[in-house]
Amino acid sequence: MTATIERFDQLDLQAPILAALAEIGYETPSPIQAACIPHLLAGHDILGEAQTGTGKTAAFALPALDQVDIHQRNPQVLVLTPTRELAIQVAEAFQRYASKMPGFHVLPIYGGQSMVVQLRQLQRGAHVVVGTPGRVMDHLERKSLNLDGLTTLVLDEADEMLRMGFIDDVEWILEHTPTARQTALFSATMPDAIRRVAHRYLRDPKEVKIKAATATVSTIRQRFLQIAGPHKLDALTRILEVEDDFDAAIVFVRTKTATVELAEKLEARGYAAACLNGDMTQQLRERVIEQLKNETLDIVVATDVAARGIDVPRVSHVINYDIPYDTEAYVHRIGRTGRAGRSGNAILFVAPRENHLLRQIERATKQPIEPLKLPSREAVADKRVAAFRQQVSEVLESEDLGFFLDVIAGIEEKHDASVHEIAAALAFLAQKDRPLQMPDTGKPDIAQLAAGKPDRPAREPRDNRSEILERRRDYAEGRLARYRIDVGREHMASPKDIVGAIANEAGIESRFIGQINLFEDYSTVELPADLSGDVLQILRRARVRQQPLNIRLASPEEASRERGGRGAPPKKPFRKEGGFDKPGGFKARKPKP
C-alpha cells in the first residue's frame, strides 16, 4: 500500500484538507501516513507501533478531519495524550490541517488550565477535543463533556500513558465512549498492558509498524539556540558571520511564504540567498541548486518538501530557523550537511514555547543537542575587523597599487593629511554598507536576551519617590492573596523583575510580596489581599519586559498550580467489583486513605 502512495492527492481526502496541506508544504506522505490514512478512511481501527516523530499526528488527524461534520458542534473526535505539551501540539496540528475548513474548532483540555475557561469553551462547542486523561475524566464526571456523538477516539503515545500511571484512567474513559466509535491506538512500544487494552477495546484492528528514521550522522555537530521569534533574523546573521567553517547553508522554514520573505531579508543584508519551495517550477528549482553548487549562491531558504534530495557537498550548515514538528523531518533536514563523510553543522532555533519539541527530538534521536552561545556585538565586530584586515593583506600582496599610490599622494598633499588619516577615511568608505562596528541601539543585546540575562541601564531616580515611600509605610502585615499577571517565562521575565516592578510602581515593600510562580505566558504572585483599587490600577499599567502586568486575582486553578507549570497529579478512578454502580453511569471515586 505504501509503495503506491507518493502524494497526498492520491488519498481520498477532502479538497479543503488537501489545500491546507499544500499551503503548509506537505506533498509526500510519510510511511506511517501512507499506511494508516487509507485504513482509517475505510473505517478500520488501527494499532500503530511508531516512534514519536514519524508523522503519526497527521496519520490520525487527516482522516479524522475528513469525517468531521462541521455543522455538528458536539465533539466527534477525542484524542488522549499523556502530557499537556503534546495535547497543545496535537491541537495546533489539527488547526493547521483544518485551516481551509470554515467554522472548525479544536479544543485542548488539560490540568493546570482554568476549568472555568474550559467549561465556557465546551459550552460553545468543539468538533475535536484533545486532552490529558485526568482532565478529560474531570469533565466527564461534571457532564460538561458530552461524547454521545463521538465517532473517532485516538490514544496517542499509549506506552507513555502507561508509564505515567494513566492506563486505568484511559480504560475508564474508553468505557464511557460509544461502542460504535472508530479507535486508533499509537505506541512507540507494545508492552503486554497496551496489547491487552488494544484487544479489549479495538475491533479487528489493522496493525501498522513503522521504524523511525532517527539515525543521525556522527560527523554532524548539533546545537540549539534559545531565541524568541522577533530576534531570529539578527541571530541568524550573527551566526553566519562568526562560524569559522561556513561555506554554504540551507535554512529551513515551515511555509512557502516564509522562504520568500527570509531570502529577501538576507539578500537585503548582503548575502547571496535564494528561496526554494513547492510553488517554483522544476526548472527554477534546478537552477537554484546549480547556483548553490557553483558558488554563486551561499544560502538557500527552503521548505522540507522542496529540499528533499539535495546533495551539495559544500553545504556546511543546516539552520532550522523554524523547528520541525516531527523528528523525522529534523533528521531529513540535517542530513543535507555532513555528506560523504564530511563534517557538518546543524543549528536549531528554539522559541521559549518549543522546548518540548527540542526534548522530543533528543529523545527520538538518542543524542543530546548542545546549547549554542550567540555571539555578542563585540565578537561580531572582531570577526568583521579580522576579515577586513585579511582582505587588505591579500590586496597588498597580490595587486599592483602604483596608480592608487599616486592618488593617495595627491590627497595627502592637497588636504595636508597623514597617510594614516587617509587610510582611515578609505576604510570608513569601504565598510559603509557593512559597518565593522555593530551599532549600539541602547536596547539589550540579543546575545544577552538569548542567554536570558539582558543588560539593563541603571534606573533613573523617580520624581515621585517620596510618595512611593510614604505608600509603602501604609502597608501592614496581613493576609496575602494570589494574583495573576500577564508576564511569564516566554517574555524572559524573572522573579527579580516582577518584584522590582511591583515595589517601584506601587510602593509595596518586598517583604509584603510573597511567593512568585513563573509559567510560560503568565505568572502568579502573592500580595496583600486588601490592595486598594488605585494600587491595582497602577499595577495593571506597570510593565515587565515591555509587557503590561494586567494584574487581577488568580482563579482557583491558577492559584493552586505548582511552580514549574505542572498541575496536581491526575486523580485515579475507584473501581468497584462488578463494574458500574448503575448501568451506563459513572463509577464512584473515593479519595485514597
CB 315 within 8 A of CB 328: no
Bridge-partner residues for 47, per DSSP? 185, 207
pLDDT for res 455: 43
User: What kind of architecture, by CATH, is found in domain 465-560?
Assistant: 2-Layer Sandwich (3.30)
Q: What are the residues whose beta carbons fall under 8 Å from the beta carbon of 147, sequence distance 6 or more?
A: 75, 78, 140, 176, 177, 178
pLDDT band at residue 85 under the 50/70/90 scheme: confident
CB 229 within 8 A of CB 444: no
| Residue labelled with grid coordinates 465533539 | 75
CB 300 within 8 A of CB 275: yes
How far is 532 from 512, CA to CA, in rounded Å?
Answer: 14
The more confident residue out of 292 and 492 is 292
Of 10-14, 322-326, 374-378, 465-469, the one with minimum mean pLDDT is 465-469
Per-residue pLDDT reduced to its tens digit, 341-357? 678 899 999 988 788 88
Residue range 571-587: average pLDDT? 33
How far is 105 from 103, CA to CA, in rounded Å?
Answer: 6
- Count of H-run helices and E-run strands, the chain: 23, 20
403 has pLDDT over 80: yes
417 has pLDDT over 50: yes
How far is 352 from 280, CA to CA, in rounded Å?
Answer: 33
| Residue boundaries of the structural domains of the chain | 2-210, 220-375, 378-430, 465-560
The more confident residue out of 382 and 148 is 148
DSSP letters, 237-303, are HHHHHH-TT--EEEEE-SSHHHHHHHHHHHHHTT--EEEE-TTS-HHHHHHHHHHHHTTS--EEEE-
pLDDT band at residue 586 under the 50/70/90 scheme: very low
How far is 270 from 288, CA to CA, in rounded Å?
Answer: 18
pLDDT for res 198: 92
Per-residue pLDDT reduced to its tens digit, 144-155? 999 999 999 999
Distances (CA, A) of 561 to 45, 522, 555: 37, 12, 10
Of 189-193, 293-297, 381-385, 476-480, the one with minimum mean pLDDT is 476-480
Residue range 58-62: average pLDDT? 94
CB 478 within 8 A of CB 528: yes
Residue range 236-258: average pLDDT? 87
Task: Classify residue 74 by burial, with Cβ atoms within 10 Å: 0-12, 13-18, 19+.
Answer: middle
Q: What is the pTM of this model?
A: 0.48
CB 152 within 8 A of CB 67: yes
Report the first-to-last Cα separation within the chain, whole angstroms.
Answer: 53
pLDDT for res 94: 95
Between strands 220-226 and 344-350, the pairing is parallel
pLDDT band at residue 3 under the 50/70/90 scheme: very low
Sign of the C-alpha dihedral computed for residues 402, 406, 407 and 408 taken in this order: positive
pLDDT band at residue 439 under the 50/70/90 scheme: low
pLDDT for res 282: 73
The more confident residue out of 299 and 399 is 299
Asked if the domains at 2-210 and 220-375 fall in one CATH topology, the answer is yes
Per-residue pLDDT reduced to its tens digit, 517-561? 888 888 999 888 888 888 888 898 888 887 889 999 988 877 776
pLDDT for res 450: 56
The more confident residue out of 209 and 406 is 209
Residue range 278-286: average pLDDT? 81
User: Which of 488, 528, 487, 522 minimizes the C-alpha distance to 506?
Assistant: 528
pLDDT band at residue 43 under the 50/70/90 scheme: very high
- Superfamily of segment(s) 220-375: P-loop containing nucleotide triphosphate hydrolases (3.40.50.300)
Calculated CA dihedral for residues 358, 356, 320, 51, nearest 10 degrees: 70
For domain 2-210, give its CATH number from 3.40.50.620, 2.60.40.10, 3.40.50.300, 3.10.129.10.
Answer: 3.40.50.300
Question: Three-state SS across 115-174?
Answer: HHHHHHHHHHCCCEEEECHHHHHHHHHHCCCCCCCCCEEEECCHHHHHHCCCHHHHHHHH
399 has pLDDT over 90: no
